[in-house]
Amino acid sequence: MVRREKSNYVIQSVSHSLDVLEQFYGSADEIGVTELSKRLKLHKNNVFRLLATLEARGYIEQNKSTENYRLGLKCLQLGQTYVQQMGFLLQAKSTLEELVKTAKESSFVAIRKGTAIVPLDFVEARSAVRVVSFLGTTLPLHCTAPGKIFLAFDSEEGLNQSLPEKLDRYTDKTIVDRRFLLEKVKEVGEAGYALEQGEFMEEVIAVAVPVHDYTRTLVGSLAVTGPAHRLTHDKIQKEVVPLILKGGGELSKRLGYHG
């Protein structure tokens, strides 16, 4: 199969929408439709339609008194999310490397995206048999250790939105009883860490803890994962849990959290 250049897949209307947003970069001034039309060399009707779409989604706001436009709140929210994620990643790197060195198992950090978790960084252990990187994949909430962390700190309303009535089964150990899962999630909140014992992938164990920032917001989860034959119950309780609780606490402190 012949690979096409990514530029061949560009959607023109989306590209034009981004052109509109970029006109506000580096300037606090509001901009009108006529000025945007001149800058972008697009017909005023097209510019108006682009602005209307962006305004409806919260990326652009109109000043009703001048009828000019400025960036909307959604741009700020996206920017803050980017800063949080980048800060989280930069601070997490040393923690991941230290965990891999001391626990001798793979380690990763993940964030929540809707009803799933997304690993942002993953450091593999050097062992011949190890859990390999999950980067580039989305993982379920209900049967992964980091996912359970996010469920444990969610509101009742949030849990109702995050967990469907019918939970997908991945292995014979996946908890698909919603009520039983919620009981286990409550235990996670009390213990301060979550366990995943072959529930998403057979013979794979994971332990995860929460990571908070200076606003006390749960910004991510720190996890250690490895094969079941090495991560025994005794090793988890005596070695891994103390190590990951310490690592999660130190990472949260570096993000300004004082709990």
Residues 175 and 86 in one domain: yes
100 and 22 in a single domain? The answer is: no
Strand partners, 208: 194, 223
Count structural domains, the chain. 2
Pairing of strands 139-140, 116-123: antiparallel
Which tens digit of pLDDT belongs to each residue from 121-163?
899 888 776 776 777 788 999 999 999 999 999 888 888 888 8
The region, left, alpha or beta by phi > 0 then psi within -120 to 50, assigned to residue 208 is beta
Structure tokens at 136: 């580039």
> Looking at residue 65, which CATH number applies to its domain?
1.10.10.10
Specify if 4 maps to a domain: no
Beta strand 194-197 with 60-62 is unpaired
Structure pTM?
0.71
Does a structural domain hold residue 2? no
Residues 119 and 179 in one domain: yes
Which amino acid is located at 235 in the chain?
A: K
Query: Do 33 and 97 lie in a common domain?
Result: no
241 and 130 in a common domain: yes
User: pLDDT of 68-108, one tens digit each?
Assistant: 999 998 888 887 777 677 788 888 999 999 999 999 999 99
Is residue 115 very low, low, confident or very high in pLDDT (cuts 50, 70, 90)?
confident
How many degrees, rounded to 5, is the angle at CA 65 between CA 62 and CA 68? 40
- What confidence score (pLDDT) does residue 77 get? 81
pLDDT in tens, 51-61: 999 999 999 99
CATH code of the domain in which 194 resides: 3.30.450.40
pLDDT of residue 164: 85
Q: Using the Cα atoms of residue 138, residue 144, residue 149 and residue 153 in order, give the sign of their dihedral.
A: positive
Query: Is residue 155 located within the same domain as residue 210?
Result: yes
Q: How far is CA 2 from CA 5, 8, 59, in A?
A: 10, 13, 37
* In-domain check, residue 3: no
- Positive or negative torsion for Cα 120, 124, 125, 129: positive
* Structural domain boundaries, residue 227: 80-254
